[in-house]
Amino acid sequence: MALPLSLEFFPPKTPEGASRLRAARQQLYALAPEFCSVTYGAGGSTQAGTFATVQEILAEGVAAASHFSCIGATRAGVRAQLAQLKAMGVKRLVALRGDLPSGYGMGGEFQYASDLVAFIRAETGRDFRIEVAAYPEMHPQARSPEADLKAFAAKVQAGADSAITQYFFNADAYFRFVDEVRAAGLELPVVPGIMPILGATQLLRFSDACGAEVPRWLRLRLQGFGDDVASIRAFGLDVVARLCERLVAGGAPALHFYTMNQGAPTLELCRRLGLGQA
């Protein structure tokens, strides 16, 4: 299956985590990813770790995309960070509004991700390929599906090149979203974000927090395995592999894997799918 794929990591918080991530990346590079992205904490709280991890990936000879959030940011600060990323050799950004750190007011000079995209384009022209987020099951803070689509369109019209979705387990949600994007006259690629199932409790808690729907049948099956992690992972591999097969058959332009800084789950999933060189 010749399909582009990309991988997402988060900046490690400890030296041990950094070592584990380096080992996982070396495993995953066998998949020949188009690029690897690195996430950004609430309010830019992991910026140093994000940029350091991006620098490592670039030094390993792989294209790297930095997440870049704008909540609480100033134009001067963003301008300086863009110059830093450009000097590092970064060619791709994932532009996000981002989450506020707990206890903080809105602040900053950017209200929406579309404001950030427009600013990056105005400041740097075509120096960066800009990815934006998409929510097939609606952003958890959106007032309605119509408002959510309007917000997405604003990011595209501001200069986004392509979109990566929040993870989901219902392929119909993705296909419906793409249909609505096309009906709105937006032609950019919408790449599905894929979350390997590594465990039940954390996945269900995280999904509830970020608005990703876990279908009732899947939730009950996962809970039914109790603490049997091996069975959860084997079952999850089947579920996510079938999801990916359906997405690819339906015309998804690429797949973006949320690796959770682990190599084996994404490698096994890609082997099942015949993706990459693994």
What is the tens place of the pLDDT at every residue in 61-81?
999 999 998 888 889 999 999
Per-residue pLDDT of 170-207, as tens digits, reads 999 999 999 999 999 999 999 999 999 999 999 999 99
pLDDT band at 107 (very low <50, low <70, confident <90, very high): low
Ordered alpha helix ranges (H), the chain:
15-28, 47-59, 75-88, 113-124, 145-158, 171-183, 201-210, 216-224, 229-249, 264-273
Question: Does residue 2 carry a pLDDT above 80?
Answer: no
Q: What is the CA radius of gyration of the chain?
A: 18
Tokens representing residue 80 in the block: 């300086």
* Percent of residues, the chain, with pLDDT higher than 70: 94
pLDDT of residue 278: 42
Residue 100 is classified by DSSP as P
Map residue 32 onto helix, strand or coil.
coil
Question: Does residue 277 carry a pLDDT above 70?
Answer: no
Establish how many alpha carbons lie within 13 A of residue 124's alpha carbon, considering only the half-sphere containing its beta carbon.
26
pLDDT of residue 45: 57
User: Mean pLDDT across the stretch 91-96?
Assistant: 96
191, β-bridge pairs: 164
pLDDT of residue 97: 87
Q: What whole-number distance in Å separates Cα of residue 69 and Cα of residue 255?
A: 22
66, β-bridge pairs: 38, 93
Per-residue pLDDT of 210-235, as tens digits, reads 889 999 999 999 999 999 999 999 99
User: Mean pLDDT across the stretch 147-164?
Assistant: 97
Question: Does residue 106 carry a pLDDT above 90?
Answer: no
| Cα torsion 151, 153, 154, 155: sign | positive
pLDDT of residue 88: 96
pLDDT band at 27 (very low <50, low <70, confident <90, very high): very high
Report the run of H or E that residue 191 belongs to, with start and end: strand 190-194
Question: Does residue 43 carry a pLDDT above 50?
Answer: yes
User: Mean pLDDT across the stretch 44-72?
Assistant: 90
| Cβ proximity of 118 and 81 under 8 Å | no
* Percent of residues, the chain, with pLDDT higher than 90: 83
Least confident of 107-111, 143-147, 157-161, 229-233: 107-111
Average model confidence (pLDDT) across the chain: 92
Which residues are catalytic, by number? 8
For 227, residues 6+ apart whose C-beta sits below 8 A from its C-beta are none
- Cα dist from 140 to 71, 97, 242, whole Å: 17, 13, 26
